[in-house]
Amino acid sequence: MKQKRLIACFAVVLVLTASLAAGAGAGVSTGTVQSASAQPTCSFPFEKTDATGTAVTVESEPGRVVALQPSAAQTMWEIGAKKKVVGLPVGPYTSFLNGSKSGDRTDITKQDGYTTNIESVVSLTPDLVLAPNVVSNETVEKLRSAGLTVYKFKSGRSIEDIYRKTTLTGQLVGACQGANQRVEAMNETVSSIESAVENRDRPRVLYLMGDGYTPGNGTFINRVITLAGGENIAASAGITGYKQINPESVIKQDPQWIVVGSDTPNIPNQTAYTETTALKQNQTVVVNSSYISQPAPRVITPMNSLARSFHPDAFEQTNATDESTATDGKTTAATNATATTGTTETNGPGFGVIAAMLALLGATLVARLRQ
């Protein structure tokens, strides 16, 4: 009888834990995305018009997928569909993905490191090829001419675009639940950040990508800076897209923070930069280049790191979710930074805690059953 009561108790724990998990998934604090239960479920055939204007039909759930760019590969990992990926660009911009090396996946780039190797992709006989917007239409057409199903994504210009791309990727490859959970986790973190930095003074921020290039209006990196509670001086200077910023604009705008990527951490040794408030006060931030440069889920990590650098006191007063890694958000002199990448894969909001509760309670009950 005692064992039956314990088994019944364990069943109740399971039900309560499932309810908590559902609540955590649905507890999104903004209306940007819907709860998982309201989002579309995977079904095939699935048809969607892509960036080339082609109505692409995926007849059945793909078992073999090729990601032509790192952002598509990252998204597949983040939604729990990495086992489907048979080919991707193998290199520094995917090295943070566990199991992405050449011994585990086929490298589909040419020796130059960025051009798609058409023959390599075709030889993998994929059920679906994911082509981010930077892939040329010519490459897409060559792959289609070889009989492959190719979906080309639209350009990602905002965090909302990344939400949509993540959800769509899940629909295309049959990983809707993982995609929906990942989007909700992202949205929850962004909402927490927005709440933390709301009504605070926005410091002037310059993000340097190397050779003086910087993201301006119409870029998702500009949106990252804005959501983190900063003012992107490139956008204020009228720059659209990714262009070089001239020293005169840097002097005039006088950034209070300078942000650099881990692969290009050095700031030009020019008066326009050395005389900025940012360098005088040693206010520079190094972020993971792979995360900040890819319109994919992990862009939330540098956003969080930037917000905590710009407004540290705001996060002492809130419970904003911290998804930053040990290698992001180092407030240090950029010239002394070393390039590092993270390897931890992330999960949906609250599910780690719930799983831990379940494991602890389950272990306790099982131990008693064995006595």
> What DSSP state is assigned to residue 217?
B
Instruction: Calculate mean pLDDT across residues 298-303.
Output: 97
Asked if 185 and 347 touch (Cβ cutoff 8 Å), the reply is: yes
In this predicted model, what pLDDT tens digit does every residue of 11-63 receive, in sequence order?
433 333 333 333 333 333 333 434 434 555 799 999 999 999 999 999 999 99
> What DSSP state is assigned to residue 297?
G
Per-residue confidence (pLDDT) for residue 208, from 0 to 100: 96
Helix (H) or strand (E) holding 352: helix 351-370
Asked if 108 and 120 touch (Cβ cutoff 8 Å), the reply is: yes
* Lowest mean pLDDT, pick from 80-89, 110-119, 122-131, 142-151: 110-119
Q: Tell me how far apart the alpha carbons of residues 340 and 337 are, in angstroms, rounded to a whole number.
A: 9
Strand intervals (E) in the chain: 46-49, 55-58, 65-67, 85-88, 106-107, 128-131, 150-152, 204-208, 213-215, 231-232, 242-244, 257-261, 284-287, 330-331
Per-residue confidence (pLDDT) for residue 40, from 0 to 100: 57
In this predicted model, what pLDDT tens digit does every residue of 73-115 receive, in sequence order?
999 999 999 999 999 999 999 999 998 877 789 999 998 878 9
Instruction: Calculate mean pLDDT across residues 244-260.
Output: 96
Instruction: Calculate mean pLDDT across residues 314-337.
Output: 45
Per-residue confidence (pLDDT) for residue 104, from 0 to 100: 82
Per-residue confidence (pLDDT) for residue 317, from 0 to 100: 55
Asked if 131 and 89 touch (Cβ cutoff 8 Å), the reply is: no
Looking at every residue in the chain, the average pLDDT score rounds to: 80
Q: Tell me how far apart the alpha carbons of residues 298 and 347 are, in angstroms, rounded to a whole number.
A: 11
